Amino acid sequence: MNFNQTIFSSATLLVSIPLSRREIYNVCMDQPMKIISDGIWNHPNGSSPTQSAYTMLQIQMVIIFAITQAFHFILKQFGFPYFVSQVMAGFLLGPTIPTGPFEKYKKMLFPFGSADILNTVSSLGFSFFLFITSVQMDLSLITKTGKKAWVMALSSYFVSIAIGFSVMNLLSSQLEQINDDYDSFSSLPMVIVTQGGVSFAVVSTLLNDLGILNSELGRLALSTAFVNDLTGGIAAGFGADYVKSVQLGFPILVTNVVAFFVYLICIPLIGRPAMKWIVKNTPEGKPVSKIYIYSIIVSFLGLGFFAGYFNQPFLVGAIILGLAVPEGPPLGSELVSQLELFCSWFLTSIFVTCCTMKVDLKACVPLSFFVVVFLFILLAQLIKILLCMGICRYCKMPYSDGFCLALILSSKGVVDVCSYVLMFDSMAQNKQVIGVLIVSVLVLGTTSKIGVKALYDPSRKYAGYQKRNIMSLKQNHELRIVACIQKAYQVIHMKNVLQLCSPCPENTLVADILHLMELVGRSTPIFIAHRLQQKVGSSYNYSGELIVTFDLFERDYAGSATANTYTAISPMALMHEDVCHLALDKNAAIIILPFHLKWGGDGSIELEDSNIRSFNSRVLERAPCSIGILVSRGPAGFSAANYKVAMVFLGGADDREALCLAKRFTKNLGNRLFVYRLVAYDRDMSNWEDMIDDEELREVRGAYGKLENVAYEEHTIEDASQTTVFIKDIANKFDFIVVGRRYGMRSSQTYGLENWTEYSELGVIGDLLASPDMETRASILVVQQQSTAAS
């Protein structure tokens, strides 16, 4: 070894202790230590970067990151989770995968002494990762979790361990015959214990990757994983105290166990009220003061250091203090936004690779040893799967859902890889066992993701075998609406739509108003029914203004309208699941969604939110009922008792659905409805769709046509230009305009306009009315009828 190419000036091996995996060196280092390279221009023969600690650290980080991304680029095509790429990068840079002539470059990349610096920096990032994960946990899940999740979590942990130990004791004589060195199987108890638990962070990440975090299965899996992880963590803490202190004498053992118990209880008892005081003293809508953020980080580091006094790892302080932080805004979300990118996505990724660089799979010999340990791992996982499926079946869950839940609770990931290697570093496991455990993590983590993705489809329950639309409702039957709100300015516009529906004793309205918020600073999605006065762990006030507004609306229409308010907090990509689930549960006839554009007072576009547009598209694809997209071009805060409404009818299912909704507006005699039918000059009178249209319009021309507040006009249209002229002519004469989406339908009235459509979710006519070039102050409601499974 050429020590001129390392951060040390010399290093002498004094003693090697193979059994404890220790090598003791006598090293000399120049002082002050060289941190930054002088560069190739400031040295007679060029400066070597390996002599500069910081320069070497930067090169190592960049190379590890590049190799990880290269693996992920290939493996993601086959559905492998991201942590597999991190592990494979570690295998490539470590001794597991020989690289032949490139071995010398490995030694140049990781010269003697540099790995310690890299491990120290990345392990600090992993500590912050665990802290952030704990911050995102909802501690109130302990009280909210149902019996099913509790039974599943505790049985999968304790029963699998108990059966594993029983089998190990029964086969002890056979194990001796398989391997003369029975001591190599002395780590089997630790292997069995590690298979009983499941990491909440791993399950949360898996569910998020699969897009089922806020599905029924996802919520059950999160609750079960939380209880299991909490139980396993407490048991591991006391177990670590016992293993490390039992040889030091009984008094020290008792002292350490009592100290850990006090540590475990006091941090939440003192920390939680302190955190709530910070939240209380933070003005609503303002970020938490930086001094509080820094104080929490310093406390986290101090508590981790203090844990070492009673034989607990540094990571314990991070986990317990993180659980004491109220999840969600403003404090939890601020901590996550400050720390997540660099600590979770960069340093933790490097730490996983550094951990697996210590593993040598070639050392997992003989083959009989590898097979025996792996069979015990499979046994523990099989017991967990059978237990989960049995409990799910007892609770009348489908077999496929029970199996998917079992796969989720058997998943392994980043936390498990790092935990196993940390056990190896503390000499609690030998190199052969760690190699088998890492392989098991790769197998279980991959099969869980691929298996659940193939077997579980949360959207199948939304298949439209039952009619849930306005056309199928009997006359004077109550209208059930799910109204979605994401921004404060949408509240008044959504209230106007409900008011336009003309609630009265003969035309009752049930509105379920859902306030959608993005999941930030927590890992567990929330669904709050405010009428039931449900509480969440955080003291943050959710949807206060919205609740007051629709409570007043219900009071104004007492006996005719019911307004139920809800808050759903979930990832932006999964919000549609909450909407569709609520619509299905409440048997809604229509979902009203806000459009993604906000207009200013002068008619110009003031705000565009692409997230809302993506959300609307996902709901349009999966909704179990009809959908209306509300384009609010009227003045902000505009509200009236009576409205002048136009309904433009071209034909088709969507237009018929829009017409049925528009007819309900006329129950309030103060509202005036104008129905305009645009008839194609070349229409085929024998066409079945046209015949259905005529039948639907007969009532408008007949009974409704006799009403003073309903008018009907029919116009023959020869081409799309006439349609455009007509729309421009009526655009500024009404408060509301109702149209059908007619997506995918082609007719002579709109032929050619489809190619110029900017907002496909609105259809051709809706897109014309929502165009910035259209001079109108009317609000537009674009209706799509429920897509049934038969169609």
Bridge partner list, 738: 647, 781
Cβ 405 vs Cβ 392: under 8 Å: yes
* Residues 42 and 152 reside in one and the same domain: no
Nearest by Cα to 59 from 12, 100, 108, 23: 108
Burial label, 157 (beta-carbon count in 10 A; 0-12, 13-18, 19+): buried
Strand 479-485 relative to strand 590-594, pairing: parallel
Q: Is residue 99 part of a domain?
A: no
Q: How much of the chain, in percent, has pLDDT values that exceed 90?
A: 9
Question: Which residues have CB under 8 Å from 354's CB, separation 6+?
Answer: 64, 90, 115, 118, 119, 122
Quick one: how far is CA 206 from the chain centroid? Answer: 9
* Residues 602 and 710 reside in one and the same domain: yes
pLDDT tens-digit map of 4-50: 556 666 667 777 665 555 667 777 766 666 677 666 555 554 456 66
The runs of H, that is alpha helices, within 246-366 are 250-280, 290-307, 315-324, 331-339, 348-357
Q: pLDDT confidence of 512, banded at 50, 70, 90?
A: very high
> What is the mean predicted confidence (pLDDT) over 586-591?
90
* Residues 353 and 484 reside in one and the same domain: no
Q: pLDDT confidence of 635, banded at 50, 70, 90?
A: low
What is the largest distance, in Å, between two alpha-carbon atoms of the chain?
Answer: 106
CATH number at residue 726: 3.40.50.12370
* Residues 89 and 119 reside in one and the same domain: no
Q: Which two tokens stand for residue 482?
A: 């799910």
CATH number at residue 424: 1.20.1530.20
Angle at 355 between CA 353 and CA 357, to 5 degrees: 70
CA distance 742 to 731: 19
pLDDT value, residue 539: 47
CA distance 630 to 627: 10
CA distance 444 to 198: 11
Of the residues 422, 456, 490, the one at which a domain ends: 456
Cβ 420 vs Cβ 438: under 8 Å: yes
CA distance 375 to 175: 12
CA distance 592 to 36: 60
Higher pLDDT, 138 or 487: 487
Cβ 531 vs Cβ 554: under 8 Å: no
Q: Is residue 77 part of a domain?
A: yes
Q: Is residue 423 part of a domain?
A: yes
- Rounded (10°) angle between helices 399-409 and 367-394: 140
Q: Is residue 613 part of a domain?
A: yes
Angle at 663 between CA 661 and CA 666, to 5 degrees: 120
CA distance 644 to 665: 10
* Domain of 667, in residue numbers: 470-784
Q: Which two tokens stand for residue 411?
A: 């998943």
Query: 39-48, 650-659, 661-670: which range is least confident on average?
Result: 39-48
Q: Is residue 80 part of a domain?
A: yes
CA distance 288 to 282: 6
* Residues 228 and 368 reside in one and the same domain: yes
Q: Is residue 5 part of a domain?
A: no
> What is the mean predicted confidence (pLDDT) over 557-575?
88
Tokens 């339908």 correspond to 745
Domains of the chain: total: 3
Tokens 């193939």 correspond to 454
Q: DSSP string of 715-783?
A: EEE-SHHHHHHHHHHHTTS-SEEEEE--TT---TTTTTGGGG-S-GGGHHHHHHHHSTTS----EEEEE
pLDDT value, residue 45: 47
Q: Is residue 353 part of a domain?
A: yes
Cβ 763 vs Cβ 741: under 8 Å: yes
* Residues 717 and 588 reside in one and the same domain: yes
Question: Which residues have CB under 8 Å from 427's CB, separation 6+?
Answer: 20, 21
CA distance 296 to 338: 12
* Residues 196 and 332 reside in one and the same domain: yes
pLDDT value, residue 790: 44
pLDDT value, residue 17: 63
3-state secondary structure of 249: coil
* Residues 408 and 551 reside in one and the same domain: no
Bridge partner list, 608: 597
> What is the mean predicted confidence (pLDDT) over 523-545?
66
pLDDT tens-digit map of 201-241: 888 888 888 888 777 788 888 888 888 888 888 887 777 77
Please tell me the pTM assigned to this model.
0.77
> Is the pLDDT reported for residue 594 higher than 50?
yes
Nearest by Cα to 491 from 285, 638, 622: 638
CA distance 536 to 332: 14
Tokens 């050429």 correspond to 2
3-state SS of 492-522 is: HHHHHHHHHCCCECCECEEEEEEEEEECCCC
Phi, psi (degrees; rounded to nearest 5) at 352: -60, -45
pLDDT value, residue 428: 55
Q: Is residue 200 part of a domain?
A: yes
